[in-house]
Chain A
Amino acid sequence: MASSKKLISREEWEKRLNNVKIRKEDMNKLVMNFLVTEGYVEAAEKFRMESGTHPDIDLATITDRMAVKKAVQCGNVEDAIEKINDLNPEILDTNPQLFFQLQQQRLIELIRNGKVEEALEFAQEELAPRGEENQSFLEELERTISLLVFEDTSNCPVGELLDISQRLKTATEVNAAVLTSQSHEKDPKLPSLLKMLIWAQNQLDKKAAYPCINDLSNARLEDPTF
């Protein structure tokens, strides 16, 4: 495997790095975009004041969105649904998958709190009709209901439904749906740029030996290995 890789010295590479023109405002925008998309309202407001960067979304809408997310994260699904509909009733109308997920979470919470009768009633009235229309909903419903027959849920095959990660997953999707309905991108740009960096380095590795950054958290440049 002949190596026809071009070698770029550290000195040369650092010169190139210094020649890159990055605007402070662009970096500020990137940070603001992160704060806003992830829902750090007060921080976004302070950042606006301290840096003069304008948020690309109305900060008032963030508070509402965060309230919804929090409600889901805490397992207050009924509250969350009410809040979403207050924000924009179309969100759940146009998102049957999301709505089902929320209803499923509600069922999980009822089961978690030992409210067996209520759980069964809820499942029969609200979830079963959905299950009849949609195969994957039905499967999820069956998985969830099966929680009831286990005394020790920590070891059962569907135990993961009770895990907090299930709530977080739903919360993330609710967050994304709300952002999308507000015509905003649902993901912050920063993680994508970081992934692009990893990808670009991998691609360049095929053609050249050059100083690369292996640890993103301290951005340290490693000498090229040949």
Chain B
Amino acid sequence: MNSSNSNSNNGQSNSCKSSNFDNLNQDLGLHFLELARIGSSKTPVEMEEDEEEAPKELNTINSSGGFLVVAPDKLSVKYTSVSLHGHDVGVVQADKPAPMRRLLYYFEIYVKDAGAKGQIAIGFTNEGFKMRRQPGWEVNSCGYHGDDGLLYRGQGKGDAFGPTYTTGDTVGGGINYASQEFFFTKNGAIVGTVSKEKEMKGHLFPTIAVHSQNEEVHVNFGQKKFAFDVKEYEAQERLKQQMTIEKISLPPNISYGLVRSYLLHYGYEDTLNSFDLASKSTIPPICIAQENGFDEQDVVYALNQRKTIRQLIRNGEIDAAMNKLRDWYPQIVQDDKSAACFLLHCQKFIELIRVGALEEAVKHGRIELYKFFGSAEADDPFDDLVQKCVALLAYERPQESPVGYLLEESHRDVVADTVNAMILSTNPKMKDVHGCIQSYLERLLRQLTACCLERSANGGQGETFHLHRLLNSSREI
């Protein structure tokens, strides 16, 4: 399907260069307009996750009514019947399933009274579980039983697992999403782990069961301190995962190369020169062979010009920046309604506000900004930004206003990055539009985020990935 204004570059010839360029122009600039919007929210850039609910109490609605009684606080259960066979177990699930978007989940029971036979169980069951059977006796369930210390995983016969438990014992059950295992504890110590078989996917409910007369069990969903140090266990498991990742080997000097191409991409010329100089005297000397894939053709282009203009914009000298652009790259500022020009005009407005030259700002607005107002399209990024910029006029202390972020350095940087991309796009040797907008480093980070999101989407398990948090925390990754 070949669309005439597609992004793919198939050999620009000089004659149609200007029309291709218009398309590129719009696309490139728009990308950065979107970025300008990100700056407006104070919250981190990750998607807000729905807060996953965790179990808080026992579910009295679906419990095996006739055989047991749940206390009014819904945190303990007593077997009131006399057990006669294997289908009159008193089973209770938690009110919510175990949350999955974390490294692990854990809860505990305290055996108040082991009753006549101590046939207590702790484990996990799925939503449709037959509520008269011990957890573990049916498929899609697992249970650690107190009377025999066996672990049952979906059939009548259990596997040797650990010690029995009785009155006065505190027993815990947990799910480790990183290792895909169930784990159980007794009186503060790990008893063992078993793999969480493939059938046991989907939502799992913490489950407890009592089966002989007078058995009584209290449950703790985290409201009280656990007997087992689950935080420590979690830290150890997290460490294990980190160590697995650390063992992965990288191509030699890859970080060095990515940093270098980042500096080249954004035009940080002085930094690059210092970096190169220092690398020459590194022991052993670092050399990036061409075969490593670092192709500099695209990004060495116009390095000094890009650096110069970036510095001007970062200093708020928008007029000077635009003059330089007119001299060096007139095609970029040719279309006054392009995203790049728009951003520059807005920035000039912002700089005037910053120094309190409100009258001049209004004058500038009347000349350059009015035409971006009132677009028919909903959610038009031009309209959105120009309104926010003009809103700055309304505040005595604009930097403290809701639109104050426009006055921050980071916004100047967005404009600088836009111009940088536009200049890169004028390179006749440029083959990849994408390459103008995103450095290799950025692409890798996006890929990392997308992969992690896909893994945890759709009922996925395990800790979600937060790049911003990782980068800003002080602990090692």
Contacts and interface: CB of A to CB of B under 8 A. Distances in A.
Interface of A: 8, 13, 16-17, 20-27, 29-31, 34-35, 40-43, 45-47, 49-52, 70, 73-74, 164, 168, 171, 185-201, 203-204, 207-208, 210, 212-213, 215-219, 221
Interface string B300-343: 00000001001100100000000000000000000000000000
15 contacts: A16-B454, A20-B450, A24-B414, A43-B274, A50-B270, A50-B307, A74-B283, A187-B476, A190-B255, A190-B258, A192-B477, A199-B245, A201-B447, A204-B451, A217-B251
In the complex, the 4 A-B pairs of residues with the closest C-beta atoms, listed nearest first: A21-B45, A217-B293, A219-B443, A192-B477
B470 to A, nearest CB: 8
A217 B441 CA distance: 9
B455 interface: yes
Interface residues of B, number: 69
Given A50-B268, A52-B413, A208-B454, A216 B258 contact: yes
A31 B271 CA distance: 11
Contacts of B447: 17, 197, 201, 212-213, 219, 221
A213 B275 CA distance: 27
B444 to A, nearest CB: 5
Contacts of A52: 314, 409, 413
A22 B268 contact: no
A200 B45 contact: no
B380 interface: no
A197 B254 CA distance: 13
Interface string B426-443: 000000000000011111
Contacts of A8: 454
A16 B476 contact: no
A126 B228 CA distance: 48
Nearest to B477: A192
Contact of B255 (A20, A41, A188): A188
B283 A168 contact: yes
B410 A27 contact: no
Contacts of B283: 70, 73-74, 164, 168, 171
B231 interface: no
Given A16-B450, A191-B250, A218 B294 contact: yes
A186 B284 CA distance: 20
**Best-buried of B251, B259, B293, B294 by chain A (most CB within 10 Å):** B259
A185 B476 contact: yes
B474 interface: yes
B311 A42 contact: no
Contact of A168 (B46, B274, B284, B442): B284
Given A31-B263, A218-B440, 6 more contacts: A8-B454, A22-B467, A27-B262, A51-B268, A192-B245, A195-B248
A189 B477 contact: yes
Contact of A193 (B445, B455, B468): B445
A35 B277 CA distance: 13
Contacts of B244: 199
A17 B446 contact: yes
A213 B248 contact: no
Interface in B24-59: 35, 38, 45-46
A27 B441 contact: yes
Interface in B455-475: 455, 465, 467-468, 470-472, 474-475
Contacts of B73: none
Contact of A22 (B294, B414, B446): B446
Contacts of B274: 40, 42-43, 45-46
A197 B444 contact: yes
B246 interface: yes
B467 A46 contact: no
A174 to B, nearest CB: 13
B271 A46 contact: yes
Contacts of A201: 447, 451
Contacts of B450: 13, 16-17, 20
A218 B453 contact: no
Contacts of B474: 185
B26 to A, nearest CB: 15
B68 to A, nearest CB: 40
Nearest to A203: B455
B448 A200 contact: yes
Contact of A46 (B257, B270, B294, B443): B270
B476 A218 contact: no
A3 B248 CA distance: 26
Nearest to B45: A21
Contacts of B81: none
B160 interface: no
A190 B248 CA distance: 14
A73 B477 CA distance: 27
A31 B259 contact: yes
A47 B244 CA distance: 33
B472 A20 contact: no
Contact of B294 (A30, A73, A196, A217): A217
Given A26-B467, A216-B254, A43 B275 contact: yes
A173 to B, nearest CB: 15
A196 B295 contact: no
A207 B444 contact: no
A195 B258 contact: no
B273, B310, B439, B450 — most chain A CB neighbours (10 Å)? B450
B275 A35 contact: yes
A26 B445 CA distance: 11
A38 to B, nearest CB: 8
B292 interface: yes
A169 to B, nearest CB: 12
Task: Give the most central of B46, B273, B413, B414: most A CB within 10 Å.
Answer: B413
Contacts of A198: 248, 250
